[in-house]
Amino acid sequence: MDTLQHLVSGFAAALSPAYLTYALAGCALGTLIGVLPGLGPAAGTAILIPLTFKLDPTGAIIMLSAIYYGAMYGGTITSVLINVPGEAASVVTCIDGHQMAKQGRGGTALGIAAIGSFVGGIVATVALVVVAPPLAKLALRFGPPEFFALMLFGLCLVSGLAGRSMLAALLMTVLGLLLAMIGIDPVRGAPRFAFDVPDLYDGIGFIPVVMGLFGISEILLAAEAPALAAVRTRLSRLLPSREEWRRSIGAIWRGTGIGFFLGLIPGIGSIVPTFMAYVAEKRLSKTPERFGRGAIEGVAAPESANNAYANAAMIPFLTLGIPSSPTIAVLMGAFIINGITPGPFLFQERPDLVWAVIASFFVGNVILLALNLPLVGLWAKLLEVRFEYLAVGVLLFCLVGAYSLQQSIFDVWVMIAFGVVGYVFRKLELPLAPLVLGLILGSPIEKSLRTSLEMSGGDYSIFLTRPLCVGLLIASSVVLIGSALKLAPKTLREA
Amino acid sequence: MIKALAKVAVSAAALLAACVAVAQQFPERPIQLMVAFPAGGSTDVGARVVASIAEKILGKPMVVINRGGAGGQVGWTEMARQKPDGYYLGYINLPATNTVILDPERKANFGADAFVPIINQVLDPGIVWVRADSPYKTLKDLVDAAKKSPNTIRTATTGILSDDHLAILMLEEAAPGAIFRIVHLAGGADQLKEILGGNVDVAFDNVGSIAPRVRSGELRALAVMDHQRSKFLPDVPTMKEVGYPSVISSSTRGIAAPRGVPPAVLKTLEAALRKAMEDPEHIQKLESAGLAIKIMVGEEYAKYYRETHEQAKKYTEWAKSRAHK
């Protein structure tokens, strides 16, 4: 009852002309940041903090939050259109989204992404209102051992990312894990495979790698056969067909669920939920062979997961004051600059602010949908640009994006190198997604394993004495054994 | 003879005039202020505030550039290579800068003498904290427990060789027999998560990041590692008050230049930066972010830099030998 009252007054505030304008401006700026590869939501929010100094705290936070989830959506656009993830969480969307664009279904891909993001965002926000505090407390029980088990589970899902050959997928996963070893080891602080180059001490940047693997290699491939690169998108096909709707609805709900629950656990990051949502769809699908060739579920699920995650990640932040991703950490900085400390007391001390911000999440998600659906046609037009011009534009875009990550020319070289690597791998028909998954999971697996062992003083039984952890380990074994059984020896040899 | 003398005098005067002119002209173009951590962190926040005031005093823009990576090593490597003309300054974060230099595995290609400290801005003392319902009500409870059952109390740092890691070693040294089970976490947010989740028992961090939660009663602070109580937490005793006067640890942020900057230029910079840091706007903005200002200039700061380096050297070696076990 009390909650409802607060929410109503929150809506009254969020719908006031001034706050509505801030939310609109934030969504538009966020979408722009998402579209620019390299410039991700964290850096984008940090850069735009000074913009909000002149606003009152509520207005500032409404605008920064809008930038945050706007960026999460904007990243999709470039993934679909030019195979360059605009921000890290949109990597998975490249796989099927860009295939859809090549088939002239780019508009549909962007449309379903906008709808999926909307559902994911709204559902997660409703859950934030209804069940936030108890859930957030529960998620805290997710310590390093549970985190390790969850990441291991993610790694076991790699079998779901395999294309024709399981052996090739495993090979690429190991390669990804090896790449993740580069840099300062998370416990001892000793550099590994860094060859005394300080630029390598933090490891290879994830974003330049995926920009190269997907984006640059795409241009190289297309340059061989420019005629094929020209794509006509029928504008009439912006909304999904009945068949596509049928396929997407389940995917959107499942993606939302996965994104929401993983969003509650601080530290997961925005990429893992999208991968899990994608693999879950592929595994549940009766026609898994469509994945990688433009399956609409392959866009709908990760995009819904992505936005559900983004909104759910606000729960540990608002209720406990724990920033669960780099972007939210920046957002927390904005709270503190404005004299507000997020945490359990925030709901009591500043209910006006909290509920106005929460109401603005609803408003913002509606704005994003309204902003993006009409623009889809415009974005899709981009694909009709002649390849010669588009390729130069995309290359320039990638170069600037890679440099803008941390104003380092080193990242530009990493991107170019991985562009060539990606080209070779795709020529050899080696799947890129397992490599990306290995690269993402490598460091959290290692870090959580070693932190767990630090906690237990080196005793491995810590993984077997915590029920949640045991449950996740059992789930991992089921997935692993399940996929091993499905594998006829013939498939292994087909590599 | 007289002619020659006059010549010398004239050229000496010219030289002097030139020197003065250089000092007076400085700065002629924008000054870069490097922060060895990403945008949005607390070093960055402080840098942007001071730069925005100092540029009005100096009359030329002061541009903050972020060169994050490898716990600051990427930025400091770049800073050590810069031309010492006063147009490239950078933040040094003691003792992080020191441990990067001191850890042989880091293979830093610069030494402690690569930087000339100009002015310190912030000194954020170390603090020991636990959950509000923790059985450790005082630091004595904690130390007694660590003596009674050594190597069982899970104690979080904010990273290997961070000031918090060194502080744990200092406390172990000051309280013989007490051994903590050290768990290296990535930072303050991780500490909070694991403490609230019951996965670690006690955390060593800095006052600035934790003070609001201690004041709200959500967390309990056991001791502050400074010579006097923190003005942000006046109720929390110092280590000296609870019997461990040798445990003094903090994280500081100050501005330095690459070695070799002309003294006149250093003087200009020091004066301008000092004026900027004493500006009410600077004080108000930093304090609202929970950052304790501690201005140290010239020999005072240089001495602090040397002492921190010596102290860090001892504990870095300890930390390393312990990790090898």
Q: Give the residue from A252, A338, A276, A268 showing the smallest Cα distance to A65.
A: A338
The b/e string for A448-479 (b: 16+ C-beta within 10 A; e otherwise) is bbbbbbbbbeeeeebbeebeebeebbeebeeb
Q: What is the pLDDT of residues B261-310, one digit of tens each?
A: 999 999 999 999 999 999 998 998 888 878 899 999 989 999 999 999 99
Q: What is the pLDDT of residues B219-238, one digit of tens each?
A: 999 999 999 999 899 999 99
- Minimal C-alpha gap between B85 and chain A (Å): 22
Give the predicted TM-score (pTM) of the model: 0.80
Q: Name the residue facing B197 among A49, A140, A199 (closest C-beta).
A: A140
Roughly what angle, to the nearest 10 degrees, separates helices A17-35 and A2-14?
80
Contact status of A459 with chain B (Cβ, < 8 Å): no
Chain B residues whose beta carbon lies within 8 Å of the beta carbon of residue A201: 69-70, 73-74
CA separation for the pair B317, B311 (Å, rounded): 10
B173 has pLDDT over 90: yes
Q: Give the residue from A227, A237, A221, A235 showing the smallest Cα distance to A386.
A: A227
Count A/B contacts: CB-CB distance under 8 Å: 117
> Cβ distance A256 to A305 under 8 Å?
yes
Query: Is the Cβ pair B105, A189 closer than 8 Å?
Result: yes
Residue A183 forms beta bridges with which residues? A192
Binning pLDDT at 50, 70 and 90, where does residue B13 land?
low
Binning pLDDT at 50, 70 and 90, where does residue B324 land?
very low
B219 Cβ neighbours under 8 A, 6+ residues apart:
B129, B130, B131, B132, B195, B210, B213
CA separation for the pair B90, B68 (Å, rounded): 12
Q: Where are the domains of chain B?
A: 29-124+250-317, 126-249
Q: Which of residues 381 through 440 in chain A touch B, CB cutoff 8 A?
A: 406-408
The chain-wide mean pLDDT, for chain B, equals 87
Query: Is the Cβ pair B216, A341 closer than 8 Å?
Result: yes
Binning pLDDT at 50, 70 and 90, where does residue B3 land?
low
Q: What sign does the dihedral B307-B310-B313-B315 (CA atoms) show?
A: negative
Chain A residues whose beta carbon lies within 8 Å of the beta carbon of residue B70: 183-184, 198, 201-202
A229 has pLDDT over 60: no
A46 Cβ neighbours under 8 A, 6+ residues apart:
A330, A333, B38, B39, B40
Tell me which H or E stretch contains B43: helix B42-58
Tokens encoding B79: 């800073």
> Cβ distance A90 to A76 under 8 Å?
yes
Lowest mean pLDDT segment, chosen from A43-57, A153-167, A178-192, A268-282? A43-57
Looking at CATH, the fold of the domain delimited by B126-249 is given as D-Maltodextrin-Binding Protein; domain 2 (3.40.190)
Q: Name the residue facing A198 among B73, B183, B184 (closest C-beta).
A: B73
CA separation for the pair A61, A26 (Å, rounded): 10
CA separation for the pair A45, A39 (Å, rounded): 10
One-letter-per-residue 3-state SS of chain A: CHHHHHHHHHHHHHCCHHHHHHHHHHHHHHHHHHHCCCCCHHHHHHHHHHHHCCCCHHHHHHHHHHHHHHHHHHHHHHHHHHCCCCCHHHHHHHHHHHHHHHCCCHHHHHHHHHHHHHHHHHHHHHHHHHHHHHHHHHHCCCCHHHHHHHHHHHHHHHHHHCCCCHHHHHHHHHHHHHHHHCEECCCCCCEECCCCCHHHCCCCCHHHHHHHHHHHHHHHHHHHCHHHHCCCCCHHHCCCCHHHHHHHHHHHHHHHHHHHHHHHCCCCCCHHHHHHHHHHHHHHCCCHHHCCCCCCHHHHHHHHHHHHHHHHCHHHHHHHCCCCCHHHHHHHHHHHHCCCCCCCCHHHHCHHHHHHHHHHHHHHHHHHHHHHHHHHHHHHHHHHCCHHHHHHHHHHHHHHHHHHHHCCHHHHHHHHHHHHHHHHHHHCCCCCHHHHHHHHHHHHHHHHHHHHHHHHCCCHHHHCCCHHHHHHHHHHHHHHHHHHHHCCHHHHHCC
Residue A280 has phi, psi (to 5 degrees) of -60, -45
Chain B residues whose beta carbon lies within 8 Å of the beta carbon of residue A47: 39
Q: What is the pLDDT of residues A440-484, one digit of tens each?
A: 888 889 889 989 999 998 899 999 999 989 999 998 888 888 777
B214 has pLDDT over 70: yes
Tell me which H or E stretch contains B170: helix B163-174
Residue B131 forms beta bridges with which residues? B219
3-state secondary structure (DSSP) of residue B193: helix
> Cβ distance A84 to A215 under 8 Å?
yes
Binning pLDDT at 50, 70 and 90, where does residue B67 land?
confident
Q: What is the pLDDT of residues A81-91, one digit of tens each?
A: 888 887 778 88
| ipTM, two decimals | 0.76
Q: What is the pLDDT of residues B74-129, one digit of tens each?
A: 889 889 988 899 999 999 999 999 999 998 888 888 899 999 999 999 999 999 99
The answer to whether B29-124+250-317 and B126-249 have equal CATH topology is yes
Q: Which of residues 119 through 148 in chain A touch B, CB cutoff 8 A?
A: 140-144
Tokens encoding B43: 């070093």
Query: Is the Cβ pair B160, A140 closer than 8 Å?
Result: no
Roughly what angle, to the nearest 10 degrees, separates helices B42-58 and B263-278?
110
> Cβ distance A285 to A291 under 8 Å?
yes
Beta pairing, strands B293-297 & B115-131: antiparallel
Chain B residues whose beta carbon lies within 8 Å of the beta carbon of residue A451: 183-185
B68 has pLDDT over 80: no
For residue A406, give the chain B residue with the closest CA: B67
Q: What is the pLDDT of residues A372-407, one digit of tens each?
A: 888 777 777 777 777 778 788 888 888 888 887 777
Just give the CATH number of B29-124+250-317.
3.40.190.150
Tokens encoding B73: 């090593």
3-state secondary structure (DSSP) of residue B83: coil
Query: Per-residue pLDDT averaged across A421-436, rounded?
Result: 90
A345 has pLDDT over 80: no
Q: What is the dihedral of CA B101, B102, B103, B107, to 10 degrees?
A: 40
